[in-house]
Amino acid sequence: MIHNQIPTDIHFMRRALELASLGQGSVSPNPMVGCVIVHNNRIIGEGWHQKYGSWHAEVNAIQSVKEKDLVLLPDSTVYVTLEPCAHFGKTPPCSDLLITKKVRRVVIANVDTNPLVGGKGIEKLKNAGIEVTTGILEEEGRWLNRRFFTFIEKNRPYIILKWAQTADRFIARSDYNSRWISNDWSRKLVHRWRGEESAIMVGTTTAQYDNPHLNVRDWTGEDPVRIVIDRHLRLSPSLHLFDQTQPTLCYNLKKDEASDYIQYIKCVSESTFLAEMMADLHQRKIQSVIVEGGSKLLQELILSDLWDEVRVFTSDQTFGTGITAPVFGGILIDKISIKKDQLSVFIPVTDSYKQSIYTM
Ligand code: AOF
Ligand code: ZN
């Protein structure tokens, strides 16, 4: 019985995950959640969490069931990518809703590690006599909601490190000029990535020498919050970062000050700087950050184990000398492959980049 169920469970859970992903970009810092209601191998209801603060996936799926099919609910299986909630939040608990509708079975991809829920939803369902199966397409679900899970479990944003390096592993020339490492295609991709995260971060040297805008110009998407580290407030207010076109957070050791777009946040000490910044970002509900350099900041984050994913472009040219690319405990980035929970993407930047495939 259990054996026969698994391919079917995987099939419908895949659909639920597909629905969940439709919430990408509009549900943060909540998770993307999808739900499919199945009776005799026929889908009678579907829904997903569409917008932060609005109805959960399970409610939308139940809502979508046609009047004539409502009688089938007690003999149906509900596939939901995340454990149904057990708390009164912005909406009433979904586990109660499924109990009221007397569904027969609930299949779940991921247990909700949100302390508000954390297994309580499953317990409620089981206590009500509903059969519960967990762990179907668990890895896919954890991957889809990697930003949410990291945010909730580590009390910090999900951190993506991104850089472009030459074949001989330099990310800039000695005068910090980094032009010509990336190309039009990699730039487009980076702009798309910027639109996918809550915030984008750079260190002092990058802010000073590159004078970046840190917005989304070459792709459609919302501009992320800009984060800059400037411990001793050395950066000139005339930099693009401070042009008041996007919210900007400046972490430093000198002052707390807020204006419309720019917020200076004072950290207490040098030794706890990064930890203080991460805690503050968590409190501001910044769920994910893409870090675009420079080498010092990237290396510091790696040494502090404050990273989750690395995306590196490697060009085929050489500089011979310059600012070296970050290293992982002495292992060169082009030598490491996928680590558990820590993922690397290698993207060759060549003229044929258009055709090149990057794997995740
Ligand atoms: C969602 N959508 O479909 C499910 C969620 O603030 P609330 O009341 O919307 O509750 C958010 C929490 O509810 C969220 O962090 C997660 O733990 C749980 N489940 N959330 O936004 C959904 N099923
Ligand atoms: Zn819910």
According to the model, what pLDDT value does residue 334 have?
58
Cβ-contact 314, 347 below 8 angstroms? yes
Cα gap 183→350, rounded to integer Å:
8
Any ligand 1 atom below 6 A from CB of 89:
yes
Q: How far is CA 295 from CA 170, 178, 234, 289, in A?
A: 10, 12, 18, 16
Cα gap 135→222, rounded to integer Å:
34
Secondary structure letter of residue 339 according to DSSP: B
User: Would you please indicate which residues are annotated as catalytic (active-site) residues?
Assistant: 58
Q: In testing the pocket of ligand 1, which one of 26, 49, 50, 56 has its CB within 8 Å of the most ligand atoms?
A: 56
Sequence-distant (≥ 6) Cβ neighbours of residue 243 within 8 angstroms: 213
Any ligand 1 atom below 6 A from CB of 344:
no
Any ligand 1 atom below 6 A from CB of 56:
yes
Q: pLDDT (tens digit, 0 to 9) for every residue of the chain, 360 residues total?
A: 455 668 899 999 999 999 999 999 889 889 999 999 999 999 999 999 999 999 999 999 999 999 999 999 999 999 999 999 998 888 889 999 999 999 999 999 999 998 888 889 999 999 999 999 999 999 999 999 999 999 999 999 999 988 888 888 898 888 887 766 677 777 888 888 888 999 999 999 999 988 988 888 878 878 899 999 999 999 999 999 999 999 999 999 999 999 989 999 999 999 999 999 999 999 999 999 999 988 999 999 988 989 888 888 877 788 899 999 988 766 666 544 433 344 444 444 443 332 333 332
ipTM: 0.91
The rounded Å distance from CA 342 to ligand 2 centre is 29
Q: Can you read off the two tokens belonging to residue 2?
A: 């259990």
According to the model, what pLDDT value does residue 316 have?
77
Helix (H) or strand (E) holding 352: none
The 3-state secondary structure of 154-205, one letter per residue: HCCCEEEEEEEECCCCEEECCCCCCCCCCCHHHHHHHHHHHHHCCEEEECHH
* Rg, the chain, Cα only: 23
